[in-house]
């Protein structure tokens, strides 16, 4: 079977997409495209099942109903340069193949992350793992300068230890978490979308969110129909708990007699298909 070609993605193949101050994401290779997802689904359904009329309609259906295996038929391999502290968050997403640059075998270049002033902020009062209000401009610049000095001081010691023939595996321990590392990351589309759903969220740390935003743009070029379905049914959707659903049903029941009809009309006006409208109404009314 010939390799799928996606012109919008081939335009940036092997071209680093910048992230943060010295990081990047580069598409090395990919397999599959929008057409691969419905093709896999139809192979699963075979004869005797109802066929969704279009590829896009089937992609929407699969995304809406969390039928995930057809999305696993597409894969992408990325070359990523990122700070070590971001890589440690990243590696928690275990459904991928990873090969990271080794500080035991290689000398690490003098590259470390310094946040832009607006991202140097105080501890959030409402989020134990997040940032709150930005510090004053003076404090931002003061801490940026000290972070830069600390990074260079750490690399000065690292270089001194290497020159003294201290083992690389030991010399590297003096380097900060802001040091840049590099990795190849190969992942299927289903697990990639799960990564993006979490890491593009406003609650994610800014630095990993910056990478997720760039990867999201890459995915939108690669599989635009899947990306559209992901945006509508995952990223910008809300999952209601059972009590919340009961509350919505109660409000509809207490409203005007034509409330369900009005809701159905609103759904239609927003471009939902007849099948999707029927699914929503069955859940709510």
Kindly list the catalytic residues.
199
Q: Give the separation between CA 110 and CA 235, rounded to whole angstroms.
A: 37
Give the closest residue to 219 by CA, choosing from 56, 12, 1.
12
For 25, 27, 77, 100, the CA distances from 14, given in Å and listed in that order, are 9, 6, 11, 18
Give the closest residue to 54 by CA, choosing from 37, 75, 72.
37
- Taking phi over 0 as left and psi of -120 to 50 as alpha, with beta for the rest, 241 belongs to beta
DSSP state of 179: B
- Whole-number CA gyration radius for the chain: 24
Q: Give the separation between CA 43 and CA 21, rounded to whole angstroms.
A: 45
Q: Give the separation between CA 239 and CA 242, rounded to whole angstroms.
A: 10
Residue with tokens 């990223």, as numbered in its chain: 235
Residues 6+ apart with CB under 8 A from 83: 20, 23, 112, 113, 177, 178, 179, 180, 181, 207
Query: Could you tell me how far CA 67 lies from the centroid of its own chain?
Result: 19
């Amino acid at each position: 079977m010939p390799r799928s070609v996606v012109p919008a993605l081939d335009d940036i193949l092997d071209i680093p997409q910048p992230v943060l101050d010295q990081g990047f994401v580069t598409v090395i290779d990919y397999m599959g495209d929008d057409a691969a997802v419905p093709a896999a689904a139809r192979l699963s359904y075979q004869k005797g099942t109802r066929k969704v009329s279009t590829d896009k309609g089937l992609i929407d259906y699969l995304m809406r109903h969390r039928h995930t295996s057809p999305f696993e038929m597409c894969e992408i391999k990325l070359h990523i340069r990122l700070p070590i502290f971001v890589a440690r968050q990243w590696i928690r997403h275990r459904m991928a193949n990873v090969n990271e640059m080794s500080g035991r075998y290689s000398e690490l270049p003098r590259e470390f992350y310094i946040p832009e002033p607006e991202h140097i902020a105080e501890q959030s009062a409402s989020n134990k793992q997040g940032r709150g209000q930005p510090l004053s401009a003076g404090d931002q610049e003061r801490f940026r300068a000290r972070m830069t000095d600390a990074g260079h001081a750490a690399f000065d010691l690292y270089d001194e230890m290497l020159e003294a023939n201290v083992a690389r595996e030991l010399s590297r321990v003096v380097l900060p978490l802001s040091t840049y590392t590099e990795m190849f990351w190969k992942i299927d589309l289903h697990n990639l979308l799960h990564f993006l759903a979490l890491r593009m969220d406003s609650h994610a740390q800014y630095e990993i969110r910056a990478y997720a935003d760039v990867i999201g743009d890459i995915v939108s070029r690669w599989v635009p129909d899947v990306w559209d379905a992901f945006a509508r049914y995952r990223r910008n959707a809300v999952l209601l708990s059972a009590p919340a659903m009961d509350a919505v049903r109660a409000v509809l029941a207490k409203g005007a007699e034509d409330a369900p009809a009005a809701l159905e009309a609103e759904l239609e006006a927003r471009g939902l298909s007849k099948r999707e409208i029927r699914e929503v109404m069955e859940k709510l009314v």
